[in-house]
A = this chain, B = another copy of it.
Amino acid sequence: MADQDDDTILREREVDEGRDAYALDEGLRGELKALVAAGDVAAIDALMEPLHAADIADLLEQVSDGERAAWLGLWSKGIDGEVLSELDWGLREEVIALLPEQVLADAVRELDSDDVVDLVEDLEDEQIEQILDALEPADRVAVERALAYPEETAGRLMQREVVHAPEHWTVGEMIDHLRAHKRDLPEQFYHVILTDPRMKPTGYVTLGRLLSSARKTELREIVEDSFRTIPATQHEDDVAYAFNQYHLISAPVVDEDGRLVGVITIDDAMIVLDEAAEEDLLKLAGVGEESSLSDRVIETTKQRFPWLFVNLITAILASLVISQFEAAIAQIVALAVLMPIVASMGGNAGTQSLTVAVRAIATRDLTRSNLVRVVLREGAVGLINGAVFAVVMGVIGLFWFGNPMLGAVIAAAMIINLLVAGLAGILIPVALDRLNIDPALASGAFVTTVTDVVGFFAFLGLAVLVLL
């Protein structure tokens, strides 16, 4: 129980400072700007040479539009497929349009099929055609097949290059096979997938096991215990969930007949998972889920307008409630002074509950089996915090306005609104989810409406009953 400061187990070394250990060198952009202005292509080459494609893409996102055009005008040959893959969705179209046809063709030809799919899937049809035309016929077919799967499914995420082998092969045969086909192997692979004669996957062997087993060992003897396949039409959120829940590194993808058609690796799943939490955050804040810093003013304004508009309607509804009590407010102006406090506290308590609920739905921690318990908990938390703040506000109301009944009214309204906020914060997202409406996107508006309306109505209504 005791927190022993001198505990030897928890003795800590100094923490490394340097939050920006990996952030781009602030001077880099200035240097690049000067070189672009001077038109010094060789020096730009030298500056970019040590950078990772992801860092070049970040730099493209951070410079102004004019600088970007000037830079690409001088140095388009440095933009390879990887840089394009790393670019923000919003900027890809623009950069692709700025590239000479030959540079673009070379860039996409070096990518794996799953990266080409990721690159093109959000582009305009014309640009997709331009990129597909640049591919070798075989690669083009692979990309078109992947694009035939619906967006956000396993079929879009998977790579088609799979290392597989019959179960009866030995370690020696497998190694000889890999050595003979080294040119055709995917860039990254972590397992050999075992298949039956109909190409149905039956298990997998890790490369570590393969490397440490004797040549005569049969692959089926060193197969992993746990084995999961992913249907090609499964939603990418489910794929990411499976990787996260079961700590998968790669998993075979199968078609409707259970035949192996590809493999998904953890890096793809990590991107999906990372985006899911980020999207929930942006959606809860009423910002478009795809918004990014490189968006223009007009795009950004348009993305944010809808949520502000919904909020306006919510706010007007609340105002209509207030307008029902104009006579009371004219008599006791203190009501106008205090009423935003009740609404604001309710709004915040509701946002707390709904944020927890939205994430719990997304991570599948909130299910039918614990719903009742969680609803009761949220109600109880609202009631307790409501009671605490009721006391605080009652005292403030009393001393500020010298009116004990006004204190009692605001205290009662606080309890009611925080209880309602807790319940609305959980029940609204759950109900939206049941109706197949994205709770992250829509819950905020509903919950705020409820807490505003209930807050104003409870406070002003009680005031009319008690004070007038």
Total A residues in contact with B, Cβ cutoff 8 Å? 157
**Do A185 and B208 touch across chains, with their CB atoms under 8 A apart?**
yes
Any B CB within 8 A of the CB of A238: yes
**Do B389 and A308 touch across chains, with their CB atoms under 8 A apart?**
yes
Instruction: Give the oligomeric copy count.
Output: 2
Once the chains are docked, how many angstroms separate the CA of A337 from the CA of B55? Answer: 52
Could you write out 29 A-B pairs with CB less than 8 Å apart?
A1-B125, A9-B129, A10-B125, A12-B150, A14-B150, A15-B153, A21-B234, A22-B245, A23-B364, A24-B364, A52-B226, A52-B245, A178-B212, A190-B207, A190-B208, A274-B277, A277-B278, A280-B281, A285-B351, A285-B352, A301-B380, A301-B385, A304-B352, A308-B349, A308-B352, A311-B344, A329-B329, A330-B333, A339-B340
A370 to chain B, nearest CB (A): 5
Q: Point out the residues of chain B lying under 8 angstroms from A13, CB to CB.
A: 148-150, 155, 233
Once the chains are docked, how many angstroms separate the CA of A385 from the CA of B299? Answer: 12
For chain A, residues 174 to 225, give those with C-beta under 8 angstroms from any C-beta of chain B. 174-175, 178-179, 181-182, 185-186, 188-190, 206-208, 210-214
B-contact bits for A338-376, CB 8 A (1 contact / 0 none): 111101110011011011100110001111111001100
Any B CB within 8 A of the CB of A270: yes
**Do A343 and B345 touch across chains, with their CB atoms under 8 A apart?**
no
A13 to chain B, nearest CB (A): 6
Any B CB within 8 A of the CB of A2: yes
Once the chains are docked, how many angstroms separate the CA of A188 from the CA of B62? Answer: 38
Any B CB within 8 A of the CB of A286: yes
Any B CB within 8 A of the CB of A257: no
B-contact bits for A363-400, CB 8 A (1 contact / 0 none): 01111111001100100110011001100110010000
Name, among A1, A277, A339, A388, the residue most crowded by chain B CB atoms within 10 Å (CB to CB).
Answer: A277
Q: Besides A13-B150, A307-B348, 16 other CB < 8 A contacts?
A: A2-B125, A9-B132, A12-B148, A19-B238, A188-B208, A210-B211, A270-B273, A274-B274, A277-B277, A286-B348, A293-B366, A311-B344, A312-B392, A316-B341, A319-B341, A329-B336
**Do B7 and A125 touch across chains, with their CB atoms under 8 A apart?**
yes
**Do B282 and A285 touch across chains, with their CB atoms under 8 A apart?**
no
Chain B residue at smallest Cβ distance from A276: B277
Any B CB within 8 A of the CB of A314: yes
Q: Point out the residues of chain B lying under 8 angstroms from A189, CB to CB.
A: 208
**Do B359 and A281 touch across chains, with their CB atoms under 8 A apart?**
yes
Chain B residue at smallest Cβ distance from A2: B125
Any B CB within 8 A of the CB of A136: no
**Do A9 and B128 touch across chains, with their CB atoms under 8 A apart?**
yes
Any B CB within 8 A of the CB of A112: no
**Do A368 and B26 touch across chains, with their CB atoms under 8 A apart?**
yes
Chain B residue at smallest Cβ distance from A370: B62
**Among B150, B267, B293, B315, which residue has its beta carbon within 8 angstroms of that of A370?**
B293
**Do A345 and B300 touch across chains, with their CB atoms under 8 A apart?**
no
**Do A249 and B367 touch across chains, with their CB atoms under 8 A apart?**
no
**Among B226, B330, B337, which residue has its beta carbon within 8 angstroms of that of A319?**
B337
A84 to chain B, nearest CB (A): 15
Q: Point out the residues of chain B lying under 8 angstroms from A292, CB to CB.
A: 365
9 nearest A-B pairs in the assembled complex, by CB-CB distance:
A285-B355, A277-B277, A207-B207, A16-B233, A336-B336, A182-B212, A178-B212, A315-B341, A29-B369
Chain B residue at smallest Cβ distance from A286: B352
For chain A, residues 223 to 241, give those with C-beta under 8 angstroms from any C-beta of chain B. 226, 231, 233-235, 237-238, 241
Q: Point out the residues of chain B lying under 8 angstroms from A179, CB to CB.
A: 211-214
B-contact bits for A249-269, CB 8 A (1 contact / 0 none): 100000000000000001100
A270 to chain B, nearest CB (A): 5
Once the chains are docked, how many angstroms separate the CA of A11 from the CA of B333? Answer: 63
Q: Point out the residues of chain B lying under 8 angstroms from A458, CB to CB.
A: none
**Do B9 and A274 touch across chains, with their CB atoms under 8 A apart?**
no
A110 to chain B, nearest CB (A): 14
